[in-house]
Chain A
Amino acid sequence: MRTHPIFAALRHHRLATTLIVLQIALACAVMCNACSLIAARWQTMQLVTGIDEASLGTLYLSGFEPGRANDLNARMVAGLRAIPGVTAVNVVNTVPFSHGAGTVGVTLDAAGQREGGVVDVYPGTPGTLEALGIRIVEGRSPGAEDYRPVGDFFPSQANVLITRAAADHMWPGVSPLGKEIFVDKNHFRVIGVMEHLSIARPGSMGPEETDWSVFAPSLAGPTLAGTYVIRAKPGDLPAVMHKARAAVTALAPDAVLIRENSDSLPALRAAHFANDRAMMSLLVGIIVTLLLVTALGIVGLASFWVQRRRKQIGIRRAIGASRRDIVQYFQLENFFIVSMGIGAGVLLAYAASLTLMHFYEVPLLPPWYLAVGGATLWLLGQLAVLGPALRAAAVPPVVATRAG
């Protein structure tokens, strides 16, 4: 097929062509960047906490007097263990997706000069690591003698486990086993490395720091009370959590259950990422509407062109062009228009991406997004133009002989 007549015709309709090219360019830029934002949100939501979320729930109680904490712990642990289906109950300061606690800057020397980074320290009672289902990839799990009473915040001397990510940050290329961490006057020694354990409020720190945690084996006491982690079979979990929440009124009338932080881990995860999910569906909605509007624009303009060129189409048909030639003419024309749009769209998309990078934590648009975006728009253009093109092909050759 010769392309010369197509370009000649487009030159003739410069304004209309420019408009549709501009529209496609804008659509391309918005769509590619929206996709990259969706991907960024999706990645955030894939966060690995390192714990068996499907089998875990948590309760967070507050408002009790520190003097009654030991008594509260005893009542709660015994009461919760009595619920059918519960396989373990442990006292912790918090769990991922619950309230923030234990976030501290640690140093690697007693003088506090060499900064190790800001980590979440999780004190937990014997059996917590097993209940949470944390995988230990180096070193050992704590023995009975490693569990120590908690001072103001943490045990003052403790043998702790640290996540791989935090260990690699603090001692790159060296085994962390036996290394020391200091939190003010508290002194920790690393005995094991956990594969993963995310901080309690993911998103409050940068993406790298999200897996910087320390587990400090501890004994329940006045400053380690009120937050409980409950393990049950995934199938039993909703029923167990329902009963556990209901049991608090009887077990701990002196405390207040913080409902928004007391649920199964899957529910807390969903609540934590609710905003991201809402933003994702909004972006998907924008993309779909965008494609629809663009398709309608193409249909409208193509229909108009077909109508204006009825006579020319008739003449072409009369002098021997087949229906297929006519369809191909409009398809090719659309292909050129969309290609020009995508060409301009790539530039716009990168300009937008650079601006977004400046304000939001998104990477520069990967080229394959543009490839996929371009392919989508080409396909959309071809689909949109098909109807008008078929109508054009249906123009009978006799039109050429009529006046007007």
Chain B
Amino acid sequence: MFGYYVELAVRSLRRNPVLTGLMVLAIAVGIGTSMTTLTVMHLLSGDPLPGRSEHLHYVQVTPYPQDATPTHPSEVMDYRSAMDLWKAKRADQQALLVGSTIKVHVPASTSPPLLLSMLSTHADFFTMFAAPFEYGGAWTAEDDEKHARVAVISSDLNHRLFRGENSIGKIIRLRDSDVRIVGVLKPWRPSPLFYDVYGGRMAHGDTSDFYGKVEDVMTPFQSGLEINDGNFVQFTCWQLPPSPGHLQDAPCLWVRLWVRLQDDAKVAAYRRFVADYAAQQKAQGRFRHDLTAVPSLMEWMTSNRVVPGDVRLQVWLAFAFLAICLCNTVGLLLAKFLRRGADFSVRRALGATRGAVVMQCLVETGVIGVAGGLLGWLFTLAGLWLVRQQPVPYADMVRLDASMFMTTFVLAVTTSLLAGALPAIRAGRVAPALHLKTL
């Protein structure tokens, strides 16, 4: 019976190509816009480290000495608090992070120096965040201790400097210091670049920079501070730093601490530890406030409102648009089915039940849905291509993955069945006698 309905549907749709075209187009445009924005949303709001993120936590205390009681702890830490908490080693793994820009040069190369982003962190960073290596690996805790002149470089930089070859053991010059490459990352593009997310609450929704690329050069924490001394930029200071760019003893916030806590008991214990630390610092007069927090990775993403305001707005717009297209389709289907009252009357008179007529109509709308989904999929691809042309840091990541591809068709068919339900029920209620009389 189903096959027969499909055949009927196709025949009926071909009888009115303009009306059919309009309905398919309306659904396709609605699906195209919604799926484009949903795909971007899906990409930007996802978990950057599935299966791991629940064990990763960001640590916050409140060194900033403001008068009013703050509603949130400080976004980042001063050097001393960060070092105290890191040195205590109370978590399963811990790493301090500081970013800066640095001049990079390959000795004995004639190409001009590059100004690149550098991340200075601890050895735990790579295992904690599951950074994938192409060649070599992370430096060791001993390298951290000895302030070793070693570096891990990004896949991008390895391609730029060494044409993607195994560059382990090669020397690059960071400012005036020669460092040895011990590891080369595989292409790694967490979305968002979660470990560099902070300050989102002050970003007025303009958070697309959270989706940038991983740093090109990574060095042990203390090695980085020594090599690039004088070039560190604070998140904020409560007094001008005594010597610009050297912030170890400055009244400034600039260091971040990430920890891995394997189970809930450890999270609770670590939260207590941080709270005790803050209380102790307050008692000593170094802190004015003892507000602390240890949010999990996803909690931290949420409180930073990582998904840009523009993207949220686009999703709302797209769904309003889909609703309008849906209204349009319902109206057109209603017109179409009512016009075919005579056909349905004949079927009813020959013994078809109401349900059979409704079923026939639903199959017809389902066919429209599949056609709309196919066209909508093309529109989605076109829409995503347009997004890739936008000047946003996440443009290169925008792709339709398998799950979103399936969603496109599910959404299209659901939408059209939803649109067809009301007209179909109406068509089922046609009184056969009235129509047969006029035939």
Contacts and interface: CB of A to CB of B under 8 A. Distances in A.
Interface of A: 15-16, 19-20, 22-23, 26-27, 29-30, 34, 37, 62-63, 66, 104, 152-153, 183-186, 203-204, 223, 249, 253, 256, 258, 271, 274-275, 278-279, 282-283, 286, 289-290, 293-294, 296-297, 300-301, 303-304, 307-308, 359-361, 404
A370 B19 CA distance: 31
Q: Name the residue among A185, A290, A293, A360 with the largest chain B CB count within 10 angstroms.
A: A293
Contacts of B390: 275, 278
Given A15-B426, A66-B230, A304-B339, A297 B310 contact: no
A360 B205 contact: yes
Nearest to A17: B331
B230 A63 contact: no
A19 B26 contact: no
Contacts of A27: 324
Interface string B299-322: 000000000011011100100110
11 contacts: A15-B426, A26-B323, A30-B317, A185-B240, A275-B208, A275-B310, A297-B332, A300-B19, A300-B331, A301-B332, A359-B312
A203 B335 contact: no
A44 B252 CA distance: 32
B112 interface: yes
A307 B16 CA distance: 14
Contacts of A186: 240
B206 interface: yes
- Is the contact region of chain B dominated by helix, strand, or loop, or is it mixed? helix
A84 B69 CA distance: 58
A98 to B, nearest CB: 15
Contact of B334 (A15, A256, A275, A289): A15
A62 B331 contact: no
Contacts of A300: 19, 22, 328, 331-332, 335
Contact of B112 (A256, A275, A286, A303): A256
Interface in B1-29: 19, 22, 26, 29
B244 interface: yes
B209 to A, nearest CB: 11
B204 A184 contact: no
B431 interface: no
A19 B320 contact: no
Contacts of B244: 152-153, 223
B324 A23 contact: yes
Contact of B331 (A301, A308, A361): A301
B240 A152 contact: yes
Contacts of A22: 327
A23 B391 CA distance: 33
